[in-house]
Amino acid sequence: MTVVCVLCDPPRPGLVLSDLVENGPLTGEEAADLYAAMLKDTFVAVERSGGDLLVNYRPEEHLPEEHRRDEGDAEAAVRALAADALSDLDDVRFEVQVGSSYAARAGNTATHLLREEDADSVAVVRGTAPFLTRATVDSAAMKLRSTPVVLGPAPEGRVFYAAFTEPIDFADAFAAPEVSTLAARGDEADLGVDFLPMQPVLRTPADFDTVLPLLAARRDAGRIVPRETAPLIAELGLLD
């Protein structure tokens, strides 16, 4: 069984999806709402899969100083999102991230679970892949039975999913292009690497060029669309 770790921040304006504000069409509040919607969809996809959901959050004191809140509680914010998305939280773990960069935080989490808790496999995701589904998580788990590293490629050399049955050298492992850097680290560790079908992520303005047509196509074809993300994007006037 795969422990799927969603590495996330509290959905605060300016803290999350800032590139969609600075170089894109959204306000800080809208970007925070979009981030929250994608996190909820991620939580649901993992909860419905055969994996175990671990919400890995940055605590208040580890956030950039300008985004800390005197009355804030980062854990309470992500717990509230999970509670809103899921029927109950009994099987959901909430743990603090440790590390100064995304690669360090992802690596510390994955390595601890694999070595100290004897997890069969661990996946790390950012929660910004709106088309992540239960089937994708379960497909990755099947591949992990025979291959120690399974990567989900995203456009521009990124990844939407990275899963491991053995630790790799995680130092700067998510350096661009993420997919080739992670694959090289797997090869350096003499671990086999396999891949999932490509999926888009939504972190930059250019990502709208892929996400919006796909959302519209799936909607018009009567196919499943992200429950939280799709209606919010329509509400923001981004989806015709």
pLDDT at 69 over 90: no
Write down the pLDDT at residue 240: 80
Rounded CA separation 39/184 (Å): 29
Q: pTM for the full model?
A: 0.97
Instruction: Give the model confidence (pLDDT) of 146-158 as tens digits.
Output: 999 999 999 999 9
**Residue 214: band (very low, low, confident or very high) from pLDDT cuts 50, 70, 90:** very high
Written as one letter, the residue type at 219 is: R
pLDDT at 53 over 80: yes
Which neighbouring-strand residues pair with 121?
Answer: 2
Q: For 125-152, give the DSSP string.
A: E-S--TT--HHHHHHHHHHHTT-SEEEE
pLDDT above 70 covers a percentage of the chain that reads 100
User: Which domains, from first to last, does the chain contain?
Assistant: 2-236 (3.90.550.10)
Query: Number of C-alpha atoms within 13 angstroms, CB side, residue 85?
Result: 26
pLDDT at 124 over 80: yes
Write down the pLDDT at residue 169: 98
Average pLDDT of every residue of the chain: 97
148-182 CB burial, b ≥16 within 10 A, e <16: bbbbbbbbbebbbbbbbbbbbebeebbeeebbebb
> Cα angle at 68 between 172 and 84, to 5 degrees?
90
